[in-house]
Structure 1
Amino acid sequence: MAEKTNYQQMYPVAPATKQPSSDEELATLHSDELRRKKRIKWAIYIVIFVVFQAIVIAVFSVTVLKVKTPKVRLGTAVTFQNVNTSTQPLASFDISFITQVRVKNINFGPYKYDSATAVFMYDGVMVGEVSIPKGKAGMLSTKKVSVTVNVNSKALQSTSNLGRELSGGVLTLTSHTKLSGKVELMFVMKKKKSAEMNCTMSINVSPNYELRYLKCK
């Protein structure tokens, strides 16, 4: 009996392995399922965030970062100063008026342009010109420049068409200019853009001197 007791003391009997209960198994499975659902939820959030960022970048690129060509036009407010027209013995005109050159910038950044010249023509012949000083049209704004224009018929070789037109009480002129400049975006990116103007204007010379028609493109 003493030997048996010593053997048991030297080599203790291992305790029996505890078997997990069904409640513990369910708790473990539930915890794993929660972690799996959480990972799926975060993955969905990340995908949604990436898609949203891609949409924002795409919209930003086609709106803010897309450089559009500015527009330059003559204003419809015209103030006539010296006006002299005649049909006899030769048809002639000498007219001075004040108008505006409008530079419309439709970009999300300023448009800086160099000085230019706007020419006025009658029947394809230049009858006057005016200088446009260099300037800047701000972001999404219109720069308005007041100019005084003088047009006269001294350069015309033939005045037959002019005589008929003045007899009808109307004088039709065309004008053209081209501005060269750069659009600046985000204070870093600069893009060269040229704004061009072609206008047709009709002036009533009888009985009152006033702008009858103006169309620019």
Structure 2
Amino acid sequence: MAEKNNQASPSAAATNGQHPTVDEESAILPSQELKRKKRIKLAIYISAFVVVQIIVITTFALTVMRVQSPKLRLGAISVQTLNASSSTPSFDMTFTTQVRIKNTNFGRYKFDATNVRFMYEDRAVGQVRIPKSKAGMRSTKKIDVTVSLNSKELPSRSRYNLGNELKTGVLSLSSEARLAGKVELMFVMKKKVCQNGMHFGV
């Protein structure tokens, strides 16, 4: 009787949960494997999200947040008056045109008042005032101006070249301006300076 009790005790201990059965072990293993796969998937999703965010931030910084100098150009010129002489090299003229300030930034460009100087052979022959204003995001500000030029201040050497040029019926001039202003990006002000030279013929 004692022997029978001793023989029954191991199985009783097993059924009391002291040692898992084969079926219990086979159920635990898939559960652990499933949890491991879920953790791996979660890590992959987090890594992919971080990579996408880095790409988005980098693209944003290189395009939207990148500040470029605005471009300053003259539009078509319409001559109102022109008095020129090749025998006594001189000219006096008035014309109308548009000063165009092209802002390629993703933010408004506020610029200070400035002067556009017109030159013949690097000598000033006149200028026009550009008032303080602003150009909208990725747009062009157009300012109509009337310009008066004359050759009174040209030195003798420039007058000699001017006489030869006037004989051909062409007057070559250039212009320059220093434009200082600020680009507003995401409520952050960034200062940029734009200096341009423009060449044209009359």
Alignment TM-score > 0.5, same fold: yes
2:178 matched residue in structure 1: 178
> Letter of the aligned partner of 1:23 in structure 2?
D
Deviations 1:5-45 (A, max 9, x none): xxxxxxxx9x9231644333222211111111011100110
Identify the range of structure 1 (152-161 vs 124-133) with the bigger mean alpha-carbon deviation: 152-161
Alignment identity in percent?
A: 55
Number of residue equivalences: 188
Report the structure, 1 or 2, having the larger helix content: 2
User: How far apart are residue 157 of structure 1 and its match?
Assistant: 3.0
> Letter of the aligned partner of 2:192 in structure 1?
K
> Letter of the aligned partner of 1:196 in structure 2?
Q
- The alignment status of 1:151 with 2:138, answered yes or no, reads no
2:125 matched residue in structure 1: 127
In structure 2, what is the Cα distance between the partners aligned to 1:60 and 1:176?
33
User: How far apart are residue 96 of structure 1 and its match?
Assistant: 1.0
> Letter of the aligned partner of 1:100 in structure 2?
Q
**Which runs of structure 2 are paired with 1:36-185 in the superposition (5 Å)?**
36-75=36-75, 77-88=76-87, 90-158=88-156, 159-185=159-185
- The alignment status of 1:196 with 2:184, answered yes or no, reads no
> Letter of the aligned partner of 1:198 in structure 2?
G
Identify the range of structure 1 (54-63 vs 40-49) with the bigger mean alpha-carbon deviation: 54-63
**Counterpart among 3, 16, 22 of residue 12 in structure 2:** 16
* Greater than 4 Å deviation, 4+ residue runs: none
In structure 2, what is the Cα distance between the partners aligned to 1:59 and 1:69?
20
In structure 1, what is the Cα distance between the partners aligned to 2:39 and 2:122?
75
1:35 matched residue in structure 2: 35
User: How far apart are residue 123 of structure 1 and its match?
Assistant: 2.0
In structure 1, what is the Cα distance between the partners aligned to 2:171 and 2:190?
39
> Letter of the aligned partner of 1:200 in structure 2?
H
Unaligned runs of 5+ in 1: 1-12, 204-217
In structure 1, what is the Cα distance between the partners aligned to 2:103 and 2:121?
31
Secondary structure of 1:29's aligned partner: helix
In structure 2, what is the Cα distance between the partners aligned to 1:176 and 1:46?
54
In structure 2, what is the Cα distance between the partners aligned to 1:160 and 1:20?
111
Deviations 1:145-172 (A, max 9, x none): 1111111112223222111110111101
In structure 2, what is the Cα distance between the partners aligned to 1:55 and 1:102?
35
> Letter of the aligned partner of 1:93 in structure 2?
F
- Normalised to the residue count of structure 2, the TM-score between the two structures is 0.87
In structure 2, what is the Cα distance between the partners aligned to 1:170 and 1:137?
34
Secondary structure of 1:38's aligned partner: helix
Unaligned runs of 5+ in 2: 1-8
